[in-house]
C-alpha cells in the first residue's frame, strides 16, 4: 500500500475477492483452496510454505505441494471415518507441520476447525469440546494422557481421537479408543477434490473467554479468507518473497488468522517455531531464518526490552523490514525501543476474535504516532460512539447511533459487513444481536479519535476507572509508569472508594536490579503524579513480579481486581500457568 488515502478511496471488498481464485467451476470459496491448493497447482508448488523449527534443534521444510498432499490425506481420512461437512474437528497440537495439515485438511473437507491451545488444562478443554460438540480431536499421546483420557466418558459426542505419534517412544501402546493418525494417513489417498463451499459456510469456531461464565464460541465462515488476504497485504505488507514469522500459537485467533491462513494465502514462507519464548532463541530465529516480516505481542516485546539492547545487537537483523504487534495496546516506550534497538518502529494494530482480522493498524506508508492503534483499514469504517449516564449507546431520532466529537472518548464501533466478521455466537443468538446497535458493531473497547483519524485505545469498557467524575483509561496510567526505568510492566485497576467512587491502584513488575521498597513505591506514585496529575495517577501501588496474563499476552486486569476485592475470578482458562 503506497498511499493510505488513495487505497481507501479505491478499495472494495469485491475487488479484494477478485484477487483470489475461488473454487473451480464457480463452486464457491474455500479457505484451504486459497491458502494451499492454488499455489500447489501453479508456479509456487516447490516454494517452501513452512519452515518448522523443532524445540530442541533441527528444522524441516514443507513446500506448498507437500502441504497440499498432506492436507488432502487428512481430508480423505475424515471421509473414511464417516465425518461429514459441518462436523467439528478440534486440534490440540504443538506448533508442527502436522498441525497445519490437520487444519487445512479439515477446511478442505468442509468440517469446522476448532483450535485449542496446548497449555490449556483438562477442564477448559472439556468445556470447549462439549460446547462445540466436538466429533474429532487431533492431539498427541502425551497431551491425551495428561488432559483428555480422564474426561473421555464425559464427552459422548467425541467419536474419534487421532494421535500424532511422532514423538512417542517405539513400541509403546497407544491409549484405548485412540487411533494412530500417521498410520492412517499413510493409507489415505493423496488427491482430494474440495466440494462446493458456500462463502457463508461455517469454517472456524474460536472460543473467547468472558469475564464470567462459559467461553463464547465465535463463528467464522469461509468468506473470511478475503479479509485474511487483504489485511495481510495492507496491514502486514506481505510480499511473495517474504519470510514471515507470527509468534502467536495457532490455538488463538491470531495464530490461526495470521500464523496459518494469511501468510499461506500470500504464498510466503512461514517460520513455525515449536519452542517457547527465549530472548536469545528468538533473536537467533530472526537472524538464522532471515525473517523479513515479524508479527508478535506486546508482552514478548517488553520481555525483549528487559533482556537489553546488547542481546539484540549481537544478531544480524538487517533483513527484518517490518515489525507489527497485537494482543493488547502497545506502550509508546516499546515503539521507541524498536527504533533505537532494531532500527525499525513497531506497528501496533487492533482487532478482536469477533472481527476475525485486523481492523485498525499503523501502516508502512504512514507515520506512527506512538501509543496509537492507527487508522482503519481500507474497507473498514470505524467510529467512536457516545454512551449516556446509564451506559447505553445514544441513538438519534432516526435510530442511528450518535458519534462522539473528535478527541472525546466513547465506545469503538465498526460498520458491519467485512468478510471476516463473526456470524454469531454458537447457540446464543441473543448475545450476538446485542453486539449490534444503531447500525454499528460494538467492540466493548473505549477509544478516542484525533483530528487526523488516528484511534487511541483507552481501555475495555469494564476496565475504565470512574474516579471523582473523571474517566481514567488504565492503559494511559500503565504506559506512564513504564516510562520509569524501574518498571517493566504495570497493571492498573479501579478500587471502590466511598468518596471518589473509585481510586486508581497500580500493580508493577520491577526490572533487574530493582527491589521493592517503600521509598520506591512513593517515588513511582510521585513520578506518575508529575506526569498525569493527582486526579489520574495511582493513589495506591503494589509490587507484583507475576502479573496475571492470558496465554496470548494480555494483562488480566479483571483478575487483578477480583483478587484485590476478594471476588470470584470467573473464567481463568486462558491464564498463563493454568493447567
Residue 357 placed within a domain? yes
Number of domains within the chain: 4
Asked whether residue 136 falls in the same domain as residue 250, the answer is: no
Give residue 209's pLDDT: 63
pTM > 0.95: no
Asked whether residue 268 falls in the same domain as residue 145, the answer is: no
Q: 45: pLDDT confidence band, cut at 50, 70 and 90?
A: very high
Asked whether residue 326 falls in the same domain as residue 236, the answer is: yes
> Which has more pLDDT, 393 or 532?
393
Residue 419 placed within a domain? no
CATH number of residue 257's parent domain: 3.40.50.12780
Q: At what angle are helices 474-481 and 518-532 packed, to 10 degrees?
A: 120
Q: Could you tell me if 567 and 560 are in contact, meaning their C-beta atoms sit under 8 angstroms apart?
A: no
Choose the most confident range, by mean pLDDT, from 112-121, 212-221, 564-573: 112-121
Tell me the three cell numbers of residue 424.
454469531
Asked whether residue 451 falls in the same domain as residue 553, the answer is: no
From 154, 179, 194, the end of a domain falls on: 194
Whether residue 341 is predicted with pLDDT greater than 50 in this model: the reply is yes
Q: 579: pLDDT confidence band, cut at 50, 70 and 90?
A: very low
Give residue 20's pLDDT: 97
Asked whether residue 117 falls in the same domain as residue 158, the answer is: yes
Q: Tell me: the pLDDT tens digits for 398-423?
A: 999 999 999 998 999 999 999 999 99
Q: Output the 3-class SS for 225-244.
A: HHHHHHHHHHCCCCCCCCEE
Among 160-169, 512-521, 559-568, which stretch is predicted with the lowest mean pLDDT? 559-568
From 194, 211, 244, the end of a domain falls on: 194
Give residue 415's pLDDT: 98
Asked whether residue 282 falls in the same domain as residue 320, the answer is: yes
* Share of residues in the chain with pLDDT > 70 (%): 94
479 Cβ contact list (under 8 Å, min separation 6): 329, 331, 332, 333, 371
Q: 97: pLDDT confidence band, cut at 50, 70 and 90?
A: very high
Whether residue 574 is predicted with pLDDT greater than 60 in this model: the reply is no
Nearest Cα to Cα of residue 416 among 440, 437, 395, 450? 440
Asked whether residue 396 falls in the same domain as residue 284, the answer is: no
CATH number of residue 401's parent domain: 2.30.38.10
> Which has more pLDDT, 152 or 553?
152
Residue 307 placed within a domain? yes
Whether residue 507 is predicted with pLDDT greater than 60 in this model: the reply is yes
Give residue 379's pLDDT: 97
CATH number of residue 168's parent domain: 3.40.50.980
Mean pLDDT of the chain: 91
DSSP characters for 163-199?
E--TTSPTTPPPPTT-EEHHHHHHHS-S--PPPPB-T
Asked whether residue 353 falls in the same domain as residue 485, the answer is: no
How far apart (Å, rounded) are the C-alpha atoms in residues 403 and 406? 9
User: What is the domain extent for residue 127?
Assistant: 31-47+64-194
Tell me the three cell numbers of residue 374.
492507527
Asked whether residue 43 falls in the same domain as residue 161, the answer is: yes
What burial letters (b/e) apply to 450-480, b meaning 16+ CB within 10 Å?
eeeebbbbbbbeebbbebeeeebbbbbbbbb
Asked whether residue 391 falls in the same domain as residue 322, the answer is: no
Asked whether residue 243 falls in the same domain as residue 105, the answer is: no
* Share of residues in the chain with pLDDT > 90 (%): 71
Residue 555 placed within a domain? yes
Whether residue 211 is predicted with pLDDT greater than 80 in this model: the reply is no
What H or E segment, with its residue span, contains residue 376?
A: strand 375-376
How far apart (Å, rounded) are the C-alpha atoms in residues 365 and 238? 13
Give residue 561's pLDDT: 87
How far apart (Å, rounded) are the C-alpha atoms in residues 99 and 102? 5
Asked whether residue 41 falls in the same domain as residue 168, the answer is: yes
Whether residue 386 is predicted with pLDDT greater than 90 in this model: the reply is yes
Q: 557: pLDDT confidence band, cut at 50, 70 and 90?
A: confident
Residue 77 placed within a domain? yes
CATH number of residue 531's parent domain: 3.30.300.30
Rounded mean pLDDT of 492-515?
87
Q: Tell me: the pLDDT tens digits for 424-434?
A: 999 999 999 99
Amino acid at each position: 500500500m503506497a498511499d493510505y488515502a488513495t487505497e481507501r478511496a479505491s478499495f472494495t471488498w469485491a475487488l479484494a475477492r477478485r484477487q483470489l481464485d475461488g473454487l473451480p467451476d464457480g463452486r464457491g470459496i474455500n479457505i484451504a483452496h486459497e491458502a494451499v491448493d492454488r499455489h500447489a497447482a501453479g508456479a509456487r508448488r516447490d516454494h517452501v510454505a513452512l519452515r518448522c523449527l523443532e524445540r530442541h534443534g533441527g528444522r524441516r521444510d514443507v513446500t506448498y505441494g507437500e502441504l497440499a498432499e498432506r492436507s488432502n490425506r487428512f481430508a480423505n481420512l475424515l471421509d473414511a471415518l464417516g465425518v461429514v461437512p459441518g462436523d467439528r474437528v478440534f486440534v490440540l497440537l504443538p506448533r508442527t507441520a502436522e498441525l497445519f495439515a490437520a487444519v487445512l485438511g479439515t477446511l478442505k473437507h468442509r468440517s469446522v476447525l476448532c483450535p485449542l491451545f496446548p497449555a490449556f488444562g483438562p477442564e477448559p478443554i472439556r468445556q470447549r469440546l462439549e460446547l462445540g460438540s466436538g466429533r474429532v480431536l487431533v492431539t498427541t499421546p502425551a497431551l491425551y494422557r495428561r488432559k483428555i483420557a480422564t474426561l473421555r466418558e464425559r464427552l459422548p459426542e467425541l467419536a474419534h481421537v487421532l494421535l500424532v505419534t511422532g514423538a512417542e517412544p517405539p513400541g509403546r501402546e497407544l491409549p484405548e479408543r485412540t487411533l494412530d493418525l500417521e498410520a492412517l494417513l499413510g493409507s489415505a489417498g493423496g488427491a482430494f477434490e474440495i466440494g462446493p463451499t458456500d462463502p457463508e459456510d461455517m469454517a472456524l469456531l474460536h472460543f473467547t473467554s468472558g469475564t464470567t461464565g462459559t467461553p463464547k464460541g465465535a463463528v467464522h465462515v469461509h468468506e473470511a479468507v478475503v479479509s485474511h488476504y487483504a489485511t495481510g497485504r495492507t496491514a502486514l505488507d506481505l510480499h511473495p518473497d517474504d519470510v514471515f514469522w507470527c509468534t502467536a500459537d495457532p490455538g488463538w485467533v491470531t495464530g490461526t488468522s495470521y500464523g496459518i491462513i494469511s501468510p499461506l494465502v500470500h504464498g510466503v514462507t512461514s517460520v513455525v517455531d515449536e519452542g517457547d519464548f527465549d530472548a536469545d532463541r528468538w533473536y537467533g530465529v530472526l537472524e538464522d531464518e532471515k525473517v523479513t516480516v515479524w508479527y508478535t505481542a506486546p508482552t514478548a516485546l517488553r520481555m525483549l526490552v528487559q533482556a537489553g539492547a546488547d542481546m539484540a545487537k549481537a544478531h544480524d537483523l538487517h533483513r527484518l523490514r517490518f515489525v507489527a504487534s497485537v494482543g493488547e495496546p502497545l506502550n509508546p516506550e516499546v515503539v521507541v525501543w524498536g527504533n533505537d534497538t532494531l532500527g525499525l518502529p513497531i506497528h501496533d494494530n487492533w482487532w478482536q476474535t469477533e472481527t476475525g482480522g485486523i481492523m485498525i493498524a499503523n501502516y508502512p506508508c504512514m507515520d506512527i504516532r506512538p501509543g496509537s492503534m492507527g487508522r482503519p483499514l481500507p474497507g473498514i469504517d470505524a467510529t467512536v460512539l457516545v454512551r449516556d449516564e446509564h451506559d447505553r449507546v445514544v441513538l438519534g431520532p432516526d435510530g442511528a447511533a450518535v458519534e462522539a466529537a473528535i478527541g472525546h472518548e466513547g465506545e469503538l464501533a465498526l460498520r458491519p459487513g467485512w468478510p471476516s466478521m463473526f456470524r454469531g455466537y454458537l447457540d446464543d443468538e441473543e448475545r450476538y444481536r446485542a453486539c449490534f446497535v444503531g447500525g454499528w458493531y460494538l467492540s466493548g473497547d473505549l477509544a478516542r479519535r484525533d483530528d487526523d483519524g488516528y484511534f487511541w485505545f483507552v481501555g475495555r469498557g469494564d476496565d475504565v476507572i470512574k474516579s471523582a467524575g473523571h474517566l481514567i483509561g488504565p492503559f494511559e496510567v500503565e504506559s506512564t509508569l513504564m516510562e520509569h526505568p524501574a518498571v517493566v510492566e504495570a497493571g492498573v485497576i479501579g478500587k471502590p472508594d466511598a468518596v471518589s467512587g473509585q481510586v486508581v491502584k497500580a500493580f508493577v513488575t520491577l526490572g533487574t536490579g530493582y527491589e521493592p521498597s517503600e521509598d520506591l513505591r512513593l517515588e513511582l506514585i510521585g513520578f506518575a503524579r508529575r506526569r498525569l496529575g493527582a486526579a489520574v495517577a495511582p493513589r495506591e501501588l503494589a509490587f507484583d513480579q507475576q502479573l496475571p496474563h492470558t496465554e496470548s499476552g494480555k494483562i488480566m486486569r479483571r483478575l487483578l481486581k477480583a483478587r484485590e476485592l476478594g471476588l470470584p475470578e470467573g473464567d481463568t482458562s486462558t491464564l498463563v500457568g493454568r493447567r
